[in-house]
Amino acid sequence: MPFSCGLLWRGDISIHSEKEETIAIPLSRITLTAILGGCTVFLCLGLWLLSNAHTLAILEALLAFSFGGADAVISALLLYYFGRMLLDSSPGLLISPEGIVDNTTPMAAGPVPWEEITKITVSQVDSPVDRESFGSLLFLVIHIRHPRRYLERGNALERMVHRWNYGWYGTPVRLSSIALKIKFDELKRIVQENFDKYRRA
């Protein structure tokens, strides 16, 4: 991680004690554990469909095999990536005078200097099932000057996700508070304040 510092703790957020502050927002182990539990349930469901497909009629067997296979593969990938996050001792988000280090999701962007960022906006993704019960997911959309540099980071799956984000939002960098020990409004305030502060420095 390129931004190193000595840290003091204030609640869930650690703050650098010297002239320039560095803020480290930790990952929420409770949230990550809950996500892993959900992934495990879906993996078991996918494996159950695969193991019972041969007992069904041809069309039903094909559907069970297709959905079960896709479910098992996706769940296994999510278990791997979120399990890796759970074991990672690094902060979920590091904010320093140099920029941010994004570790908020399994496909996070990594280091992003302030000079790369042009503006910060908010995107909202509504639940496709029940908007009233599940609410909306909010993301900070980090618009950057040279997106191609970030599109090629990571392995093939990570690059695919970065390109998907770029196609939908015009940038491969988005910050979520889902796996962080912080509310979205507070995350938005801290990131925007530091962007306003350091981009003028």
- From CA 116, how far away is CA 46, in angstroms rounded? 42
Say if residue 111 is in the same domain as residue 159: yes
Q: In percent, how much of the chain has pLDDT > 90?
A: 58
- From CA 49, how far away is CA 165, in angstroms rounded? 31
Say if residue 69 is in the same domain as residue 122: no
Say if residue 119 is in the same domain as residue 171: yes
Q: Is 192 within the bounds of a domain?
A: yes
- From CA 150, how far away is CA 148, in angstroms rounded? 5
Q: Is 138 within the bounds of a domain?
A: yes
Lowest mean pLDDT among 25-29, 35-39, 103-107, 132-136: 132-136
- φ/ψ of residue 2, rounded to 5: -75, -20
- Structural domain of 56: 33-87
Say if residue 75 is in the same domain as residue 134: no
Mind listing the pLDDT tens digit for each residue in 27-70? 999 999 999 999 999 999 999 999 998 888 989 899 999 999 99
Lowest mean pLDDT among 9-13, 57-61, 104-108: 9-13
Average pLDDT over residues 149-173: 88
Say if residue 140 is in the same domain as residue 181: yes
Lowest mean pLDDT among 88-102, 107-121, 132-146, 166-180: 132-146
Say if residue 80 is in the same domain as residue 130: no
Say if residue 49 is in the same domain as residue 136: no
What pLDDT is attached to residue 42?
95
Strands of 56-180, DSSP E? 93-95, 99-102, 110-113, 117-126, 136-144, 173-176
Q: Is 52 within the bounds of a domain?
A: yes
What pLDDT is attached to residue 115?
94
- What pTM, to 2 d.p., does this model score? 0.76
The CA distances from residue 9 to 16, 30, 132, in Å, are: 9, 19, 36
Say if residue 79 is in the same domain as residue 109: no
Say if residue 108 is in the same domain as residue 181: yes
* Residue 121 in this model has a pLDDT that exceeds 90: yes
Average pLDDT over residues 104-129: 86
Between CA 28 and CA 122, with CA 2 as vertex, the angle to 5 degrees is 50
Say if residue 112 is in the same domain as residue 78: no
Q: Is 146 within the bounds of a domain?
A: yes
Cα Rg for the chain, rounded, in angstroms? Answer: 19
If one counts the domains in the chain, the total is 2
Greatest mean pLDDT among 2-6, 46-50, 103-107, 134-138: 46-50
Hey, what amino acid is at 157? L
* Residue 114 in this model has a pLDDT that exceeds 90: yes
